[in-house]
Amino acid sequence: MIHYKSAEEIELMRKSALLVSKTLGMLAGEIKPGVSSLYLDGLAEQFIRDHGGIPGFLGMYDFPNTLCMSLNEQVVHGIPSKKPLDDGDIISVDCGVYMNGFYGDHAYTFEVGEVAPEVKKLLRVTRECLELGVQACKVGNRIEDIGYAVQQHAEKNGYGVVRELVGHGLGRNMHEDPQVPNYGRRGRGKKIQEGLVVAIEPMINMGTHRVKQLKDGWSIVTLDGKPSAHYEHDVAVVNGQPEILSTFAYIYEALGYTPESPITGKAIHDITQ
């Protein structure tokens, strides 16, 4: 059953989403070669607690940490480790927060040092997939229109769209109905209605879409060992249109740049704001 949110509930969810966004912004300034993902995890937990939130992933389904930290060929659900990051790595950081009765859930794939041009392209195209997915999340469309938009753009660029893991409704629970796949057919699935809040999260692989789980019981990796990217926004349907509750603005502020969307020409975190 889908729990549609009132305007008041969406305002509370915006606060949860903003705390996750600020946490990722704080991490943006700390991610560099030589730093371990476990160290970054500790910083994030402290930051969230200092700002009145509770880490949303810690203990959920027995996950041991605050952040999912997925390195290079890891797609999602990577466990933070003591291994230092290397120049040229990419690391997908997925963060959840629980605050005021609602969850925020937000992810960004960061470059560590200098990253190869073909990997930069994967990251850019995956951000574009997210943007196109968000734009499709509006009244008049259906849920699979979101995945259709993501899949078309990814596959046009020769990339694989992960099937096994999907976006989801978000609210008083981290994972609510409906599921939001990153693939789909036009005009299929449930009608998108006012008050829907979903986490839209393309997971796009440079090579095959196929993935497997590592023996740690968590990490999902690409079957061919090629890199994978993951970006996630929390999106509410307000006045029939998508409104992004999370933001990459803090990340871009920390990194000192604001990429423009090649699709809309607007600053990428201002797409619907």
Name the residues that contact Mg ion, by CB under 5 A. 94, 105, 107, 199, 232
Nearer to Mg ion, 112 or 199 (CB): 199
Residue 128 or 201 with smaller CB distance to Mg ion? 201
Residue 184 burial (CB count, 10 A): 22
**Which string of DSSP letters, residue by residue, matches 218-261?**
S-EEETT---EEE-BEEEEEETTEEEESS-SHHHHHHHT--PBP
Cα distances from 205 to residues 26, 71, 152, in angstroms, run 26, 13, 14
Compute the distance between CA of residue 71 and CA of residue 115 in angstroms, rounded to an integer.
13
- Smallest gap from Cβ 114 to Mg ion, in A, equals 27
Look at residues 177, 184, 182, 152 and name the one whose alpha carbon lies nearest to residue 166.
182
* Min CB(117)–Mg ion separation in Å: 27
Phi and psi angles of residue 265, each rounded to the nearest 5 degrees, phi first: 80, -5
Question: 126 and 229 in contact (C-beta within 8 Å)?
Answer: yes
Smallest distance from the beta carbon of 245 to Mg ion, in angstroms? 13
The answer to whether residues 139 and 237 touch, using CB atoms and an 8 Å cutoff, is: yes
Q: How far is the CB of 218 from Mg ion (least distance, A)?
A: 14
Nearest residue (CB) to Mg ion, 24 versus 112: 24
* Residues 182, 133 contacting (CB under 8 angstroms): yes
- Helix (H) / strand (E) element for 156: namely helix 143-156
Comparing CB distances to Mg ion, the nearer of 167 and 184 is 167
- Name the residue nearer to Mg ion (CB basis): 131 or 232: 232
Instruction: Give min distance, CB of 24 to Mg ion, in A.
Output: 11
Residue with smaller CB distance to Mg ion, 45 or 105 = 105
Nearer to Mg ion by Cβ, of 144 and 232: the residue is 232
In angstroms, give the least distance from the CB of 160 to Mg ion.
Answer: 19
In angstroms, give the least distance from the CB of 145 to Mg ion: 19
* Distance in Å, CB of 158 to Mg ion, minimum: 25
b/e map 136-163, b = 16+ CB within 10 Å: bbbeebbbbbbbbbbbbbbeebebbbbe
Of 177 and 224, the one with the shorter C-beta distance to Mg ion is 177
Q: How far apart are CA 239 and CA 267, in angstroms?
A: 22
Residues 6+ apart with CB under 8 A from 103: 13, 16, 56, 96, 97, 170, 171, 172, 173, 174
